Structure 1
Amino acid sequence: MKLIKVGAGIVNQTPLDWEGNFQRLVGAIEQARTQGVSLLCLPELCISGYGCEDAFFAPNTFSQSLKYLLALRPYTRGMVVSVGLPLLVQNKAFNCACLLVDGEIAGFVAKKFLAGNGIHYEPRWFTPWTQEGYTTVRIEGKDYKVGDIYFRVDDVKIGFEICEDAWVANRPGRQLYLHGIDVILNPSASHFAFGKLEVRKRFILDGSRAFGVTYVYSNLLGNEAGRVIYDGGGIIACNGQLVAAGERLSFDDYNVTSAVVDIELSRLAQVQMQTQFAIDKDFGHVVEVDFHFPNIHPEAWHPQEADWEHSPFLKEEEFARAMMLGLFDYMRKSRSRGFVISLSGGADSSAISVLCRMLIDEGIRRLGMEGFKQKLAYFKEIQDCKSADEIAQKMITVAYQATRNSSETTRRAAEELAKAIHAEYHHLDIDAIIQQYIALISESIGRPLTWEKDDLTLQNIQARGRAPSIWMLANLKNALLLSTSNRSEAAVGYATMDGDTAGGLSPIAGIDKAYLRRWLRWMETEGLGGHYRIPALRYVNEQQPTAELRPPDSKQTDEADLMPYEILDDIEEAAIRDKRAPVDCYLLLRQKYPQYEADTLKAWVKKFFRLWCRNQWKRERYAPSFHLDDANLDPKTWCRFPILSGGFEEELRALDEIT
């Protein structure tokens, strides 16, 4: 046997938080040491933070990263540790993993395949390592290899696939296998998205099996830079078998998942493969390190396949946990003193309010009361609180802002929900303010505004009239104002700029309305973990979604203004995610919804495309939103579209020719 203990470290970092990032890395290394780990993999760009954006153009980012790399060296005595950082080599910027061995730098592996799709823009800042071999970089008067290299530590060969490297067809593991690599380390910054865990599992397990290696995957954790949420979840696999899987979407600063592995078993697997090979005689690509892994007694090894613990597969639970972590990190990293929500009694604002309360309960459950308050040490107002309810009263402020068009149904829903989550509740009657605006403009233009002539104007002034007072509450509290617009509304611009879009963060702008309604029913009846339910949501769930901006006798509903949300979301998926033409979208709807008339479906397709094209400017102005689904509409992270366009008019005319 050749037994070593390996570890995958997850860390909740913040871009350019040099000292904070350093301390969390030290904490992860020390935790690994207490577990007896001798080979530890830490995430991609974990020294600087992954989401530094154009700060990767700043020389200071590279000098600070190098400074803290050197500061980490003494903490790795008696261990082998990989850390990620940006590195300047011959006036080019590379995304690198540095292997520290027994307190010294062994060398740097440069990332070969840069993530440049979706939310990722690595090619903007970094150069991919496209050549075989290496060059050198001088640090403190000593030259170190950097590039396409691997390491022989003791007699264990260690190679790297850095995040995206493992997601491509020509992954580096193929070449590493030819050189008889024993362990592949994958330091990643792999963002959370629904269903992504299954893809991640495949490349880890398949890589460990196909290359006959121990595969160690580490990831970032939490809301690092504002929009992206990382789910952590360290993973260790050997020869196609999962041996350890760490917790995902936790509230920890860092955590290490570890396992004892038998290197000889991996070597035996490679012997049995009997496939193409290369004699390892090109020592120019190898860094030899004089270090001996600690002996592990055979009795310490208990080979068995682990399960995917801490990996919730139910979408409702994944959504809740990702949102809780995202909101918590955004609040504390922005040093906001809680949340403010304009609570209408409808689905969107209710879902956000519930999630704000859930993060308190889950945070206390995971960290303990004192640990939770310590993470929010700057938030003095909650430090003397003795219960989650007391914290909620200080942390969550909601306001129901009524006009003459508001109903008793929505008022009661808002009030009952606020009571259930113990939020600070305000009832603000803004009708007099709205009427003053209407009178002001009526007098100015010399005629009264009427619903027959001025419908949209009269609706919008009510939504905009709610913004000043809710912003005032946020300013008074030094809290974060949360915008309540959802993805379905964003697709067609069914939102009032500077009204319901007002806020510093738009947490559900990536989630469609139909799903939110399902999730609220789930939270009412089943709930997180099968026990955390909020029965007061029935007052929300029994309603039809409505903006309540027209007079009550109009019986306004969102779906009457637009189309059924399920159909809107299907058109959006086909048109925007799959880039289908209007005719294709219509034909797909005909197959899925035979109960509707052809002319009705055509009208909805036309409405979607025209509203989509007219409202790109609104999507450009939305507050930052969380990326939860790899079919997002956020133009800053996923879906770019021209603000001005031809509007698909020629393609829409083709619809009339389809029978």
Structure 2
Amino acid sequence: MGHLITLATCSLNQWALDFEGNLERILASIRIAKERGATMRVGPELEVPGYGCYDHFLEGDTELHSWEALQKILASDATVGIVCDIGMPVTHKSVTYNCRIICYDKKILFIRPKMWMANDGNYRELRYFTPWQKHHETEDHYLPRIIQQTTGQIKVPIGDAVISTLDTCIGVELCEELFTPASPHILMGLDGVEIFTNSSGSHHELRKLYRRVELIKEATLKTGGVYLYANQQGCDGDRLYYDGCPLIAVNGEIVAQGSQFSLDDVQVVSATIDIEDVRAHRKGKMSWGMQAAAARRYQRIEVDFALSGGELSILQSKKIAMFYHSPEEEIALGPACWLWDYLRRSRAQGFFIPLSGGIDSCATAVIVYSMCRLVVEKAKQGDKQVIADAKRIAGEPEDSTYIPTDAHEFSSRIFHTCYMGTQNSSLETRDRAKDLSAAIGSYHVDLNMDTLVTAVRTLFGFVTGHKPQFRAHGGSDAENLALQNIQARLRMVLAYLFAQLLPWVRGRTGGLLVLGSANVDESLRGYLTKYDCSSADINPIGGISKTDLKKFIAFAEEKFDLPVLHNFLAATPTAELEPITETYVQSDEADMGMTYEELSVFGRLRKVEKCGPYAMFTKLLHDWGDRLSPVQIAAKVKLFYFEYARNRHKMTTITPAYHAESYSPDDNRFDLRPFLYPSRFPWQFKKIDDVAATLPDRSTAVEGEKDK
């Protein structure tokens, strides 16, 4: 035992442009850190304005208000006795950077700009910020007058440097910099930096946390050191849910972990470490020593302060086993937390969803129920913010003593469901919707909309002299599709009518948010009607595959004690938009010409592995060649790309959905591709056909199956 230091990192539920609320949460995190004896506090990326400001970062107001918020922090006693790492944009010599402001004792010590930007997938940082390109160099940054008047400082260093205290050395690494091949922590560690901070705005994707944690552990296993990881948490105003999980690692071992999904607006984790452990880890490794002796020197920003104290009775933090949620738990928690943030910040009175009796709307409803369970859990713990939000959303006056103590009861107040049946609907789906509503407590209405569908159909016949028929009644494919689509689109119209008026019917004010329930695979294939009931305000499952949704329903059946969910798992997915005959029952997978499992494979190859039609075909020859012939594989690939291409325009109007999958086809920022294609891909498909015709058939399928 040598030099014990208590360090704190945090996750904050920041909201884009909510400068007042963001400031309160920053100050609360610093206060909690100091109460725990921490001498250093690290916050998430761009925590002052919120990470998700997007093009608002191009406005001078955003930086102005960030400096105003920082001024309030520096004018208070918040930074007295503690080093604070705070994130905001800074314009230096007319260039705007994504920066960390290192403060101590009411003064700014140093400004560290981000050097490697996140600029793929959901991120477009190069649209707003310029990376700092003068590595190992600093310049003088002249502070705004509001800060000069508060701190008495005219200028501070800005650039690539490290902080030297009386007892250790601190280096800053920002989010994407951890993921780059030449991460700054390597060179900083070789130059004697012992404590690394990482302020992040990292979003949730299913099964993603493990990769992040392994990088953090590896960062300090090779070089030795303490790693403080802070992250944004919650819905910052868009499709992403930032999943928190602040961490502290020492020499490749996790010593503190926060929750990944939480309704807490402020979450602080702290650990007491012995800095001598870092030095011991580095000693005796001759190759490390030789590289360190030759390492390029960083400029040190010196501060007359020691992070360690003289108290030896403080207990040192021990290593812990990292906790990971299963994918099914991630679905139960991530979208639920996202929905709660969206609901309370939009100031709506609850949610509305058309229940079809199928898996997708069922999963969406169960996620809302999971949200209700989380709210009740936090309310029972006495969380004042959750109680206040729940009271307002439930329609209770401010002086009411109401506290949500039962998820079923709270659901009955804020969740509204409706079964919109037609002559093509089955009694089974109607009963499943009704039973699910009863199980989760939603306020449920049940209706038949045949008169509405008939009225539209009759109107068309009156105007044109032609009355369309279903295929089962002798109609053409065009008539059949149009009659299906009008049912779906009328459900969207009814959904918004009921969402606006159901609170009024129940003697309350305000409106409801309409939830969509199209999964990521249906969106990828375009197996949805444009402006149908998949068109909604937000969609919690739009980035989740059908396969994962089924696993989630099986998980929720047991975890939430909802035996009714078994009936949904056993049912065949169907849109129920065509008449049922003795020889025909509509089926989703038959309509699509491919299974949901195949769609997931197509989606990952197209987006994650960046395959065009021919590359996808060649990869699937290896993966599916033992059960399908080259010609069959070629046919599936061509069908997928044809349907994807001709339905791509639907992604330009798709409901904003929770982002959970790396192969999401969401047109907004994440999947930037055309929406008008040469949908038969003549060059690409011809090459596929030419190659498929020359390859041997390795499949084990029977001859009759090959001919299908």
TM bucket (normalised to shorter chain) is: over 0.9
User: Is the 8 Å Cα contact of residues 506 and 622 (structure 1) preserved in structure 2?
Assistant: no
2:307 & 2:631 partners in 1: Cα distance?
72
Alignment counterpart, residue 405 of structure 1, candidates 413, 424, 429: 424
What is the one-letter code of the residue matched to 1:69? L
Q: How far has the Cα of 1:587 moved from its partner?
A: 4.8
Structure 2 match to 1:463: 488
Q: TM-score w.r.t. structure 2 length?
A: 0.89
The equivalences for 1:173-572 within 5 A come to: 173-273=185-285, 274-278=289-293, 285-293=299-307, 295-302=309-316, 304-309=318-323, 311-312=324-325, 314-368=326-380, 371=383, 372-381=386-395, 384=402, 387-451=406-470, 452-453=475-476, 454-476=479-501, 477=503, 478-524=511-557, 526-527=558-559, 532-553=560-581, 554-562=584-592, 563-572=594-603
2:112 & 2:275 partners in 1: Cα distance?
22
1:575 & 1:78 partners in 2: Cα distance?
52
Structure 2 gaps, min length 5: 149-153, 504-510, 694-708
User: Is the 8 Å Cα contact of residues 251 and 367 (structure 1) preserved in structure 2?
Assistant: no
What is the one-letter code of the residue matched to 1:422? G
Q: Does 1:127 align with 2:130?
A: yes
Aligned to 1:161, the other structure's residue is in SS state strand
What is the one-letter code of the residue matched to 2:241? I
User: Is the 8 Å Cα contact of residues 4 and 296 (structure 1) preserved in structure 2?
Assistant: no
Q: How far has the Cα of 1:46 moved from its partner?
A: 0.5
Q: How far has the Cα of 1:102 moved from its partner?
A: 2.1
1:248 & 1:381 partners in 2: Cα distance?
30
1:203 & 1:175 partners in 2: Cα distance?
16
May I ask how many residue pairs the two structures share in their alignment?
Answer: 651
Aligned to 1:272, the other structure's residue is in SS state coil
Q: Does 1:630 align with 2:651?
A: no
User: Is the 8 Å Cα contact of residues 355 and 361 (structure 2) preserved in structure 1?
Assistant: yes
What does the per-residue CA deviation read over 1:367-410, in whole Å, with 9 as the maximum and x for residues that have no partner?
A: 42753322345325156355332211111100000111000010
What does the per-residue CA deviation read over 1:261-282, in whole Å, with 9 as the maximum and x for residues that have no partner?
A: 1112212323333231258996
RMSD, matched Cα:
1.9
2:585 & 2:308 partners in 1: Cα distance?
74
Q: How far has the Cα of 1:637 moved from its partner?
A: 3.1
Q: How far has the Cα of 1:206 moved from its partner?
A: 1.2
Structure 1 gaps, min length 5: none
User: Is the 8 Å Cα contact of residues 189 and 219 (structure 1) preserved in structure 2?
Assistant: yes
Q: How far has the Cα of 1:595 moved from its partner?
A: 4.3
Q: How far has the Cα of 1:539 moved from its partner?
A: 2.5
Aligned to 1:120, the other structure's residue is in SS state coil
User: Is the 8 Å Cα contact of residues 217 and 252 (structure 2) preserved in structure 1?
Assistant: yes
2:567 & 2:649 partners in 1: Cα distance?
34
What does the per-residue CA deviation read over 1:516-550, in whole Å, with 9 as the maximum and x for residues that have no partner?
A: 123212322x33xxxx2311112222210000000
2:14 & 2:392 partners in 1: Cα distance?
18
What is the one-letter code of the residue matched to 1:18? F
2:284 & 2:251 partners in 1: Cα distance?
12
Q: How far has the Cα of 1:421 moved from its partner?
A: 0.3
1:269 & 1:370 partners in 2: Cα distance?
43
What is the one-letter code of the residue matched to 1:244? A
User: Is the 8 Å Cα contact of residues 244 and 307 (structure 1) preserved in structure 2?
Assistant: no
User: Is the 8 Å Cα contact of residues 343 and 350 (structure 2) preserved in structure 1?
Assistant: yes
In structure 2, relative to structure 1, the CA distance for the partners of 1:616 and 1:158 (3 Å cut) is same
2:370 & 2:405 partners in 1: Cα distance?
17
Aligned to 2:78, the other structure's residue is in SS state helix
Aligned to 1:644, the other structure's residue is in SS state coil
What is the one-letter code of the residue matched to 2:304? D
What does the per-residue CA deviation read over 1:48-75, in whole Å, with 9 as the maximum and x for residues that have no partner?
A: 1000000001111001111111211221
What does the per-residue CA deviation read over 1:629-648, in whole Å, with 9 as the maximum and x for residues that have no partner?
A: 22221121321111112232
- 328-337 vs 287-296, which moves further: 287-296
User: Is the 8 Å Cα contact of residues 4 and 295 (structure 1) preserved in structure 2?
Assistant: yes
Aligned to 1:640, the other structure's residue is in SS state coil
User: Is the 8 Å Cα contact of residues 161 and 184 (structure 1) preserved in structure 2?
Assistant: yes
User: Is the 8 Å Cα contact of residues 333 and 370 (structure 2) preserved in structure 1?
Assistant: no
In structure 2, relative to structure 1, the CA distance for the partners of 1:504 and 1:492 (3 Å cut) is same
Q: How far has the Cα of 1:559 moved from its partner?
A: 0.7
User: Is the 8 Å Cα contact of residues 613 and 641 (structure 2) preserved in structure 1?
Assistant: yes
Q: TM-score w.r.t. structure 1 length?
A: 0.95
User: Is the 8 Å Cα contact of residues 31 and 255 (structure 1) preserved in structure 2?
Assistant: no
Structure 1 match to 2:20: 19
2:332 & 2:605 partners in 1: Cα distance?
26
User: Is the 8 Å Cα contact of residues 375 and 390 (structure 2) preserved in structure 1?
Assistant: no
Structure 2 match to 1:36: 37
In structure 2, relative to structure 1, the CA distance for the partners of 1:444 and 1:593 (3 Å cut) is farther
1:228 & 1:401 partners in 2: Cα distance?
31
Q: How far has the Cα of 1:362 moved from its partner?
A: 1.9
User: Is the 8 Å Cα contact of residues 394 and 413 (structure 2) preserved in structure 1?
Assistant: no
Q: How far has the Cα of 1:82 moved from its partner?
A: 0.6
Structure 2 match to 1:136: 140
